[in-house]
A and B are shown apart, each in its own frame.
Chain A
Amino acid sequence: MALRAAMLRHVKVPVQTLPVAAPKLQFWNGFFRSMSSHDDHITKEQVTERVLSVVKDFPKLNPSQVTADSHFENDLGLDSLDTVEIVMALEEEFKLEIPDKEAIRIDSCHLAIEYISNHPMAS
């Protein structure tokens, strides 16, 4: 370690200021914009992808079982408490508050995707 430090002290790399390429900058602008909550347009494909990734992250599940058609209880073997947890995680992912009456109906990936992609506040 001491050797490494000693060597590093003697090796000098000329500092280059890298010219910032214009197209690159545009890419990053686009990137941040897609992450901001002001961009309210999310496509159904994006909703599907994000819903599936939230469900796949659920600790009790084997991610490879999860598809857009999976029913939480019948196909994935979850119970009603797990379902509550998943719907709550979806609320956080899409910055929504889903009222009890609606939340209780969401029992499959398909219904979650439908509900969220029709929700005007989902972001």
Chain B
Amino acid sequence: MGASKGPRLSGMQKQVLSLYRGFLRAARSKPEEERRKIESVVSEEFRHNCQQVDRKNFIYIEYLLRRGKKQLDQLRDPGTTGLSSLQISLPNINKPDP
């Protein structure tokens, strides 16, 4: 299993991927149509940040991780049927510090 050719992932990268996995998993429990929407919004958000955020800006990435975890907890609530009740807005990348 250790024979991976790719570069080793940092702890922070693992956290991001784990959060992404968490979102996709939470989306599975929602109705089909909502699930599709959630998947596309979440995927767009992660990809956007992955391109826009400087990978050395740890403080900001940590902030995004914390925010993502909170949103994930809300999404996991069975009462939440979709993202409409969560405020997912693309963060303002020019102001990295919360």
Contacts and interface: CB of A to CB of B under 8 A. Distances in A.
A111 B28 CA distance: 24
Given A80-B13, A81-B46, A81-B47, A100 B6 contact: no
A103 B21 contact: yes
Interface in A3-62: none
B57 interface: no
Contacts of B90: none
Counting chain B residues whose Cβ lies within 8 A of the other chain, the interface size class is 10 to 19
With a 10 A CB-CB cut-off, give which of B6, B13, B28, B47 has the most chain A CB atoms: B6
A100 B4 contact: no
A74 B4 CA distance: 10
B41 interface: no
A93 interface: no
Contacts of B17: 80-81, 84, 104
B67 interface: no
A71 B46 contact: no
A93 to B, nearest CB: 13
B20 A73 contact: no
Interface of A: 71, 73-74, 79-81, 84-85, 87-88, 92, 100, 103-105, 107, 111
Interface of B: 1, 4-6, 9, 13-14, 17-18, 20-21, 24-25, 28, 43, 46-47, 50
Nearest 4 Cβ contacts at the A-B interface: A100-B18, A88-B24, A73-B6, A84-B20
